[in-house]
A and B are shown apart, each in its own frame.
Chain A
Amino acid sequence: MSLKLQNYIRTYRKRFGLSQEELSFLLGVKSGSKISRYEKFKQVPTLKTALALQAVFGVPIAELFAGIYEQAEKETSKRARILMRRMQEAATDQKASRKADLLRAIAITPNINKENS
């Protein structure tokens, strides 16, 4: 189970002393109630809003949405290992070799290494 929260919007908003209304204005979002829903993990912002959050706080999306990122990274890594296993059965060429390098990089993530150790 991830120890990270779905998002840390509230943490950074309070750190910078912004109200929900002020943050909603900065993000171009309808109202503070939407920010409240993000902070209570009841709604996930759109990509555009997530990027705007990064612009406001200067914090990368992966860190702002650490819990979601962690989950996505874990699932992608799992699928990369499956694809790598399938590729091992197929013929190798230059394109396949580049693909294998990418999949190897995705499959080896810090969290997966921790779990497997």
Chain B
Amino acid sequence: MLAIDPYTKGFGFAVLEGPERLIDYGVKKVKGDKNFACLKKFTGLIERYQPEVIVLENPTGKGSRRGQRVQQLLKELLELAASKRIKVRSFSRLQIRKAFYSSCAFNKYQVASSIAKQFPELALRLPPVRKFWVNEDERMSIFDAIALALTLFQS
């Protein structure tokens, strides 16, 4: 399964074969026409990993604060996946948070920490606790993508 989490400069992604098998993860940064460039990289990931399911955030779901560009991108990712006949599942931010309540993770950082405990190789990628005057670290998009994937496995 391939999970995608767009952010301001591109998107984070994660590929999993089951809730305990992390195959690949990373951040894809783009310039220029961001949505077009994201779709191109997204297509590359699909060709490489041939996912059976793609998981995205539901931008209109409860708890979402996505801007217009990302909402449009998520819509285009959905259309691209559909054109390749790949199943798509989407979850709202609220659904993702609820999926981690049982791990006593109630905010983004706690969710990311919980994921880093489950997949120790991510421990070095865990960003520091965010100060409110600082932009979100781009590495958080990796954890957000994995959180999406794990939400699907729990649903």
Question: For this complex, into which size category does the number of interface residues on chain A fall?
Answer: 10 to 19
Question: Which residues of A, 28-43, contact B by the 8 Å Cβ criterion?
Answer: 40-41
The CA of A11 and the CA of B24, in the complex, are separated in Å by 6
Category for how many chain B residues contact A: 10 to 19
Closest to A1 in B: B50
The answer, yes or no, to whether B80 is at the interface (CB within 8 Å) is no
B48 contacts partner chain A, Cβ-Cβ < 8 Å: yes
A17 touches B124 (CB 8 A): yes
Residue interface bits A4-23, CB-to-B below 8 A is 1, else 0: 01001011001111000000
User: Bound state CA distance, A103 and B44, in angstroms?
Assistant: 41
Q: Which residue of A lies closest to B119 (CB)?
A: A15
Question: Does A3 make an interface contact (CB < 8 A)?
Answer: yes
Kindly state whether residue B49 has any CB partner on chain A within 8 Å.
yes
Chain B residues closer than 8 Å to A41, beta-carbon distance = 48
Known contacts A15-B121, A17-B121: A40-B23 contact under CB 8 Å: no
* Residue on A nearest B21 in the bound complex, by CB: A11
Contact pick for A5, options B22, B23, B52, CB 8 Å: B23
Q: Which of B17-48 contact A (CB under 8 A)?
A: 17, 22-25, 48
Q: Is the CB of B24 within 8 A of A14?
A: yes
Using CB atoms, name the residue of chain A closest to B22: A11
Q: Which B residues are CB-close (under 8 A) to A15?
A: 121
Chain A residues within 8 Å of B24, by CB: 10-11, 14
CB neighbours (8 Å) of A17 from chain B are 121, 124
Residues in A whose Cβ lies below 8 Å from that of B48 = 40-41
B52 adjacent to A14 (CB under 8 Å): no
A101 to chain B, nearest CB (A): 34
Q: In the bound complex, do residue B49 and residue A14 qualify as a contact, i.e. CB atoms below 8 Å apart?
A: no
Nearest CB of chain B from residue A41's CB, rounded to whole Å? 7
Q: Are A8 and B124 in contact (CB under 8 A)?
A: no
Q: Mark B114-145, 1 if CB is under 8 A from A, else 0.
A: 00000001001000000000000000000000
Contacts of B124 in A (CB 8 A): 17
Q: How far is the CA of A3 from the CA of B52 in the complex (A)?
A: 9
User: Please, could you name 17 A-B residue pairs with CB atoms under 8 Å apart, sorted by A?
Assistant: A3-B17, A3-B52, A5-B23, A5-B49, A8-B23, A10-B24, A11-B22, A11-B23, A11-B24, A14-B25, A14-B121, A15-B121, A16-B121, A17-B121, A17-B124, A40-B48, A41-B48
